[in-house]
Amino acid sequence: MENKKRRFAVLTGGGDCPGLNAVIRAVVKTFLQNDCEVYGVINGFNGLVNDNLQLMDYAAVSGILPRGGTILGTTNRDNPFKFAVEENGELVYKDMREKVLENLQKYDIEALVVIGGDGSLNIGAQLARECGVKVVGVPKTIDNDLPCTERTFGFDTAMAMATEALDRLHTTAESHHRVMVLEVMGRYAGWIALHSGIAGGADVILLPEIPYKLDSVIKKIEARKAAGKSFSIVVAAEGAKPEGGEMSVARMVKGSFEPIRLGGIGEKVANAIEEATGIESRCTVLGYLQRGGSPTPYDRVLSTRYGVAAAEACLRGEYNVMVSLYHDQIVTVYIQKAASQPRQVPVDSEIIRTGRQLGMCFGD
């Protein structure tokens, strides 16, 4: 009798991110190269609950390396352990783990590759821990805040977009003698703000890790004015907050992995600067531009390395792990550890010291 092929599945969960398609392509091609079958789960964990899986072949991943987004679709709301179902016109939340197990068994799936951030990886870890599902995680987020890895794919692209925005804002600020504030994503970590701020030559960088004093920001801007610099550039991470204050919450999203949506700090800082200094100040919120579009070459390479490594872990039977970048090598770490608290910028890090040596103000 002909040997039965091993079968695997891959899904993308949480927010979209440059490099997702590069990971999918690498996962699928590696499995096919090793005479396995691979299914794509449509729309993240929703597809596992609602039996929406598609067999993938080489044609399915042809030409997707430079594409942004994900050809499989994604959602940051569907959690099989707390799945929204409409009953009598109202949403109720049910534990649908049995449907997930039923569908994985139906397709004879040996293991599941979960490409996602902390929310998706936590669900993957829970499926492994409580349901016995064999899982391999791939760290995805533009925020670069996942523990147990030195870099997540998508971060380089987001940082490049934020840096380009700063370059463009610089010319307007200088021409109009204004303070320009750029609000960037990052949730509770300041990696995007820090790296783009240094790359874009910002004068002030506000991070969640360093609560800022408005007086320190004003002092920096007035010192530049006294030195003949009639404009300033401020980068504010969406999770930045004043000393003794709270982060700015734009809205709440019920049923999401992460219900809190941060936003609004840039406008608050711009208004406060203009009121205190009299210098015309404007805020630009970069928003979803950071998550869209074609990934940078670095992210394409990193995503491809992660995808190959995830498939290889499955092939050798190493499960319930996440692939990780460590000293420029792809390794594996225990997924329960990888789905822990977010990784923030160390306040005593070399890169912050670099910024300080350049005279940048961090608001402290």
Distance CA 264, CA 275 (A): 17
DSSP letter (8 states) at residue 352 = H
Which amino acids are annotated catalytic? Answer: 143
How far from 104 is each of 50, 97, 100, 260, 287, CA to CA, in Å? 11, 11, 6, 32, 36
Please report the sign of the dihedral spanned by the C-alpha atoms of residue 327, residue 330, residue 332, residue 335. Answer: positive
- The answer to whether the beta carbons of residues 317 and 175 sit under 8 Å apart is no
Residue pointed to by tokens 């569908």? 103
- Give the max Cα distance, the chain: 84
Q: Using DSSP bridges, classify how beta strands 111-116 and 179-184 pair: parallel, antiparallel or unpaired.
A: unpaired
Q: Using DSSP bridges, classify how beta strands 321-326 and 135-139 pair: parallel, antiparallel or unpaired.
A: parallel
Backbone angles phi, psi at 181, to 5 degrees: -110, 125
| Coil, helix or strand at residue 209 | coil
